[in-house]
Amino acid sequence: MGLSSFISGSQKIESEAQKRKIILGGYLILMYMFIDFFFFVVNLFNPQGDPTSLFIGFVISIVAIWILRKGWTDTALYLHFLRSNGLAFYFSVLDHDPLQTGTPLYFILSCFGALAVFGYRESWKGVGLTAISFILFLIAILKPEEFSPDQAHFYFIVNFLITLLMGVLLIIFFDRLVTQSEARILLQNNELSKTNAELDSFVYKASHDLRSPLSSILGLAEIASRSEDLAEIKSCIRMIKDRVETQDRFIRDIIDYARNSRQETQSEQIDLKLFLQKIIDTLIYNEGALELSFRVDVPDSSLNINTDPVRLSVIFNNLVSNAIKYQDTGKEHRFVKIGVTQVGSDTEFSVTDNGIGIAEQYQSKIFSMFFRATERSKGSGLGLFIVKETIEKLGGVIRFESKLGEGTTFIFRLPNRPV
């Protein structure tokens, strides 16, 4: 068992900041324990020494390390700093010439130790303990009658204060840098974990979805090559075409996902009315699209947004394609409505349909990778996952409202990005 394991005991450490506080605090307590033991032995051979107080300090350090191992970290540290300041004060008062022996320098060790242990996140605790140490230092050694520029006493106190202030500033400054670096590393680790999880899921599902249509095509081609029935051959060709189209959609979804993940965002001014009409014109020949009525509601015909046009196109292509794909064929009047609203400096979009809707038990999963909420789904299951990832890449947010049998509305908001 290493020293760090001994200090932390059986505690459950949940963060690097907590680990540093426990381990560094434990090292400080152990160092003072050995200092006490060393001077205890030295004072046994010094007729004017006071080994009893050092033995008491040694015992207090043992109690502090025991409390620390039990998980009462702050209590152990407060006890340690009470002990370190107490003994420094006691020996500074007792010493006939503390400037010669350097006993008051232990106050500086207490100050720097408190700042280092509590760190930037709890700097108020470190600064508070530092202030207490400095007050005790002044009470212990300040002699007003000798506090003048022609006395060494004056320069000792002034230099002590300067050293203390510089140390406080440096420790807080560098600890702040470390804290910010830790936060960035933690964020990057979380993003990496998310990416790895997505990659694992992606590889597993993609390998299946890429192989499945190919297996079907090979089987259909084999049937067609052996058949002499023209109708059966044509049927096989139609099914092969359907499988190829499925494969093509899946590959395009993969490309959209890769593009959104890897490429930097671009920004240009987009005329929304014209842009959205082009989206409708592109999708109007999708299967079933002609049976829907499309409406683009842009209150101001000159309304623009500064964003990435390729990513915005991916978002609307997926949302409108889903509205077409999952229309309710039992309804006489079927529609898809795209709305745009200016909300402060942001632009809010909505895509509403009166299709089959989404069952409540699936609503928490629809933005998950490869999730399909209905048997009617022939897609990759990447569409809404890509939509959410793309919107977040543009700095926006998305939500939806849906009721089974009545329809669905997707609402997302995007900020204006600098061109």
Domain boundaries, position 63: 3-141
- From 141, 157, 180, the end of a domain falls on 141
Q: Determine contact, residues 399/332, Cβ cutoff 8 Å.
A: no
Co-location of 135 and 272 in the same domain: no
pLDDT tens by residue, the chain, 419 residues: 577 778 777 777 777 778 888 888 888 888 888 888 888 888 888 777 778 888 888 888 889 889 988 888 889 899 989 988 888 888 888 777 777 777 888 888 888 888 888 877 788 888 888 889 889 988 888 888 878 888 887 888 888 888 888 888 888 888 788 777 777 877 888 878 877 776 666 665 556 556 666 767 787 788 888 888 888 888 888 888 877 776 676 677 667 666 666 667 788 899 999 999 988 888 887 788 889 999 999 887 678 899 988 889 889 988 998 999 899 989 989 999 999 998 888 999 999 999 999 988 988 888 887 666 555 555 556 778 889 989 998 999 999 999 999 999 999 999 987 66
Residue 70: inside a domain = yes
Task: Give me the CATH number covering residue 272.
Answer: 3.30.565.10
Question: Which pLDDT value is given to residue 355?
Answer: 93
- From 118, 141, 164, the end of a domain falls on 141
Question: Which pLDDT value is given to residue 287?
Answer: 81
Question: Which pLDDT value is given to residue 170?
Answer: 84
Nearest Cα to 216, choosing from 238, 201, 199? 238
Q: What is the rounded distance in angstroms from the CA atom of residue 287 to the CA atom of residue 290?
A: 8
- From 141, 161, 181, the end of a domain falls on 141
State residue 352 phi and psi, 5-degree precision: -115, 135
**Cα Rg of the chain (Å, integer):** 36
Nearest Cα to 391, choosing from 410, 407, 375, 377? 410
DSSP code of 368? S
Residue 329: inside a domain = yes
CA 386 to chain centre: 20
State residue 337 phi and psi, 5-degree precision: -120, 130
DSSP calls for 318-367: HHHHHHHHT--TT-SS-EEEEEEEEETTEEEEEEEE-SS---GGGTTTTT
Residue 283: inside a domain = yes
Q: What is the rounded distance in angstroms from the CA atom of residue 225 to the CA atom of residue 242?
A: 18
Residue 196: inside a domain = no
Question: Which pLDDT value is given to residue 370?
Answer: 65
Packing angle between helix 73-94 and helix 105-118, nearest 10 degrees? 170
How many distinct structural domains can be found in the chain? 2
Residue 219: inside a domain = no
Strands 268-271 and 397-403: unpaired
